[in-house]
Amino acid sequence: MRTTLTRRHFVSRSLQIGALAPLTWRLRGLRPSDQVNLAVIGTGGRGRQLGQQFALAGATVSTLCDVDSRALDRAMPGVAERQARAPKRERDFRRVLDDPSVDAIVVATPDHWHVPVAIAGLSAGKHVYVEKPLGHNPHEGELMVAAAKKHGRAVHFGIQRRSSVVCTALIEQLRAGVIGELSFARGWYARKRKPIGHGEEVAVPGALDFDLWQGPAPRRAYRSNLLPYNWHWFWHWGTGELGNNGAHALDLCRWGLGVEGHPQRVTSGGGTYSHHDDQETPDTQVVTYDYGNVGITFEHRNWHASGLLGSSFGAAFYGSAGSAVCDGRSYRIYDPEGALIEEAQGDRGDKEHTEGFLRRVRESDASTDSIEEAHRTTLLCHLGNIAFRTGHQLECDPKTGHIQGDPDAQSLWRREYEPGWEPDA
């Protein structure tokens, strides 16, 4: 059976079944009379997309902020043409936080800035939408959860598949036992990325405030192959592909299995097998998470576009009565012999996710469920990277996720900060 799931179809079905009540808030309508003035901080590729999405969703994107004027130049037209007036331009996020007309901020900076800017926004009384991953290291995730509880503002995490009609419909099926008792999930991501080559120290471009770009990270010299995207592959600023797109797949795996705690054991292997350049993070990686009663694996290849089970991104679930596969825009359910019994198509939930945040802002919904889920998911990324970097099997506390009995691995729980830039909840 093949279906195309729409929002109307899913709302009707959910009302009939009465399942997944906590998710229905994402599907309710907006109150367009309640205007939200929003600033996007970080206007690279993802920030540019989010600015346009929030403008289309009914917010007023009043400010675009970036330390690189070239990124501002690229982002401005797409947002301006989707609303009544063009946003203001700003280089320093602190001026945005000082602006009383800004109700909410969208944090789409490089990874090392996600939590410091988000916490500063909460401290300034702003509502916060923060992109994945939730921090550069596990300590920052803990700080972010504490700050969300302390400041009482709406906090939303950029895992839009939690708001996808098709993904939610599959989770509903899994909860109802369509493939029996679940015991294992597998996530993956594959993309043919280009090598970054071997860079050299060069003068900082005039359009870039590199000191503010580094912010909380201890200072390093500017290199020719760092920007605009390659910082992802350096541990000093990024979290590799595991923290980049692995966060989305791992969140689907966690959500589908219904695991609430943390893994008790984490192992990781891989390396730089294709791109022999300046990348520090692996271009190929496999991570295994053992929860005792269920398990998750994730693998990525960011040098080859061939993924698994017919898609470059996805999550597969295995139960006592069959299996299911979701690529974020569709799902397929199979019986124990591998015969297809149901499939459905939809989208990945970008529109619903941005609308959900705006509704939370309008309703002053300060619940922390979303950000606590975000920390659990992002911690899987960090633990996988720590296991890879140390070459150790990690033994973890299932209640807190903290690494046990391994000083080398424990030393990577947090980072050193540039003096004066340490985040504090």
pLDDT in tens, 201-253: 999 999 999 999 999 999 999 999 999 999 999 999 999 999 999 999 999 99
Looking at the structure, tell me whether residues 116 and 168 fall in a common domain.
Answer: no
Asked if residues 407 and 177 have their Cβ atoms less than 8 Å apart, the reply is: no
Domain boundary (161, 186, 213) is at 161
pLDDT of the residue at 248: 97
pLDDT of the residue at 93: 98
Looking at the structure, tell me whether residues 125 and 176 fall in a common domain.
Answer: no
Asked if residues 327 and 311 have their Cβ atoms less than 8 Å apart, the reply is: yes
Asked if residues 61 and 101 have their Cβ atoms less than 8 Å apart, the reply is: no
In total, how many domains does the chain have?
2
- The mean of the pLDDT values for the chain is 93
User: Which has more confidence, 281 or 370?
Assistant: 281
Looking at the structure, tell me whether residues 132 and 42 fall in a common domain.
Answer: yes
Q: Across residues 85-106, what is the average pLDDT?
A: 97
Q: Sign of torsion, CA 82 83 86 90?
A: negative
377, containing H or E segment: helix 369-390
| Distance in angstroms (rounded) separating the CA atoms of residues 373 and 254 | 9
pLDDT of the residue at 410: 98
% of the chain surpassing 70 pLDDT:
92
Domain boundary (144, 161, 178) is at 161
Domain boundary (104, 137, 161) is at 161
| Distance in angstroms (rounded) separating the CA atoms of residues 78 and 74 | 8
Q: What's the burial of 2, exposed, middle or buried (CB within 10 Å: 0-12/13-18/19+)?
A: exposed
- Any domain includes 417: no
Asked if residues 279 and 198 have their Cβ atoms less than 8 Å apart, the reply is: no
- Any domain includes 423: no
Looking at the structure, tell me whether residues 180 and 270 fall in a common domain.
Answer: yes
Residue 425: pLDDT band by 50, 70, 90 thresholds? Answer: confident
pLDDT of the residue at 21: 31
| Distance in angstroms (rounded) separating the CA atoms of residues 268 and 382 | 11
User: Which phi-psi region, left, alpha or beta, contains residue 181 (left: φ > 0; alpha: ψ -120 to 50)?
Assistant: beta
Structure tokens at 139: 């300590």
- Any domain includes 64: yes
| Distance in angstroms (rounded) separating the CA atoms of residues 334 and 390 | 39
- Any domain includes 81: yes
Looking at the structure, tell me whether residues 98 and 123 fall in a common domain.
Answer: yes
Q: Across residues 333-361, what is the average pLDDT?
A: 96
Count of Cβ atoms closer than 10 Å to residue 386 Cβ: 23
Residue 54 three-state SS:
helix
pLDDT of the residue at 22: 34
Q: Which of 256, 90, 108 is nearest to 187 (CA)?
A: 256
* Sequence-ordered list of residues with C-beta below 8 angstroms from that of 177, at least 6 positions apart, any chain: 321
Q: Per mean pLDDT, which range of 4-18, 319-333, 387-401 is the poorest? A: 4-18
Residue numbers of the domain that contains 312? 164-196+226-350+368-410
Residue 13: pLDDT band by 50, 70, 90 thresholds? Answer: very low
Angle at CA of residue 347, ends 344 and 351, nearest 5°: 145
Looking at the structure, tell me whether residues 320 and 183 fall in a common domain.
Answer: yes
CATH of the domain at 309: 3.30.360.10
Asked if residues 188 and 393 have their Cβ atoms less than 8 Å apart, the reply is: no
pLDDT of the residue at 30: 36
Residue 31: pLDDT band by 50, 70, 90 thresholds? Answer: very low
- Any domain includes 308: yes
Looking at the structure, tell me whether residues 313 and 301 fall in a common domain.
Answer: yes
pLDDT at residue 349 greater than cutoff 60:
yes
pLDDT at residue 17 greater than cutoff 60:
no
Q: Which of 44, 99, 101, 46 is nearest to 73 (CA)?
A: 44
Q: Which of 251, 48, 234 is nearest to 136 (CA)?
A: 234
Looking at the structure, tell me whether residues 153 and 186 fall in a common domain.
Answer: no
- Any domain includes 212: no
pLDDT of the residue at 127: 98
| Distance in angstroms (rounded) separating the CA atoms of residues 86 and 106 | 17
Looking at the structure, tell me whether residues 394 and 255 fall in a common domain.
Answer: yes
Looking at the structure, tell me whether residues 88 and 175 fall in a common domain.
Answer: no
CATH of the domain at 56: 3.40.50.720
pLDDT of the residue at 1: 59
Q: SS3 string of 133-202? A: CCCCCHHHHHHHHHHHHHHCCCEEECCHHHHCHHHHHHHHHHHCCCCCCEEEEEEEEECECCCCCCCCEC
Q: Across residues 42-64, what is the average pLDDT?
A: 97
3-state helix, strand, coil in the chain (%, to 5): 35, 20, 40
Question: Do the strands 37-41 and 60-65 form a parallel or antiparallel pair, or are they unpaired?
Answer: parallel
* H helix and E strand count, the chain: 13, 16
Count of Cβ atoms closer than 10 Å to residue 130 Cβ: 28
Looking at the structure, tell me whether residues 145 and 43 fall in a common domain.
Answer: yes
pLDDT of the residue at 27: 31
| Distance in angstroms (rounded) separating the CA atoms of residues 52 and 79 | 5
pLDDT at residue 18 greater than cutoff 90:
no
Residue 3: pLDDT band by 50, 70, 90 thresholds? Answer: low
pLDDT at residue 11 greater than cutoff 60:
no
- Any domain includes 49: yes
> pLDDT tens across 123-180, in order?
999 999 999 999 999 999 999 999 999 999 999 999 999 999 999 999 999 999 999 9
| Distance in angstroms (rounded) separating the CA atoms of residues 280 and 198 | 12
Asked if residues 110 and 133 have their Cβ atoms less than 8 Å apart, the reply is: no
| Distance in angstroms (rounded) separating the CA atoms of residues 136 and 171 | 29
- Any domain includes 363: no
What count of Cα atoms within 13 Å lies in the side-chain half-sphere of residue 353?
Answer: 23
Residue 34: pLDDT band by 50, 70, 90 thresholds? Answer: confident
pLDDT at residue 200 greater than cutoff 50:
yes
Q: SS3 string of 313-329? A: EEEEEEECCEEEEECCC
pLDDT of the residue at 2: 60
pTM: 0.92
Looking at the structure, tell me whether residues 143 and 231 fall in a common domain.
Answer: no
